Amino acid sequence: MTDKFGGVAPRYQQVPFGRPIMRVGASREGCSLEIGGILMGEQVAPDHFRIVDFSVDETTGTAAHFVRSPDHHAQALDIFFRKTGSDFKRFNYLGEWHSHPSFPVRPSHEDVISMQSLVNGERDIDFSALLIVRLRYFLHLEAAAYMFVRRAAPANVALTI
């Protein structure tokens, strides 16, 4: 099976997560700046992850771009690992998230390049999810997730809310 990016869809099909990240990411509809952070989660079954925490960086975004602050998010990861007993096989970094207040919830060319360099780089990250959220007309929430896997094309991920 192929996805709309033209690659083979990965086995990461369910990413259940709570509504808080969507409220945070979408709550700034009146603001045209992108915000975002990192996703931290639990592996609940093979290829099935649950987002249990996330960081928020509201200071480094522009109208069309978000780059997270490494220091801010490293601290969030340290706290997360302490809370979860450093059980890295079960609880770990899942990926990135950001809002697209003025654009569709699809990765931009820059998003794709950034995520692919993350998983194809030297950091020993085999996969990373990208969640993009947007609030429209004050009520309509849009969200989409994408999986980036080392040496593979990006693929859509099914979200369970």
pLDDT digits (tens, 9 = 90+) for 35-70: 788 899 999 888 888 888 888 876 665 545 556 667
The pLDDT, as a whole number, for residue 4 is 41
- In order of 5, 43, 84, 125, the CA distances from 93 in angstroms are 24, 10, 12, 9
- Summarised one tens digit per residue, pLDDT across range 12-37 is 333 344 444 444 444 444 456 777 88
C-alpha angle with apex 17: 146 to 23, nearest 5 degrees? 95
Please give the distance of CA 105 from its chain centroid, rounded to a whole number.
12
pLDDT of residue 68: 62
Distances from the Cα of 126 to the Cα of 14, 95, 116, 149, 150, angstroms: 18, 11, 10, 6, 5
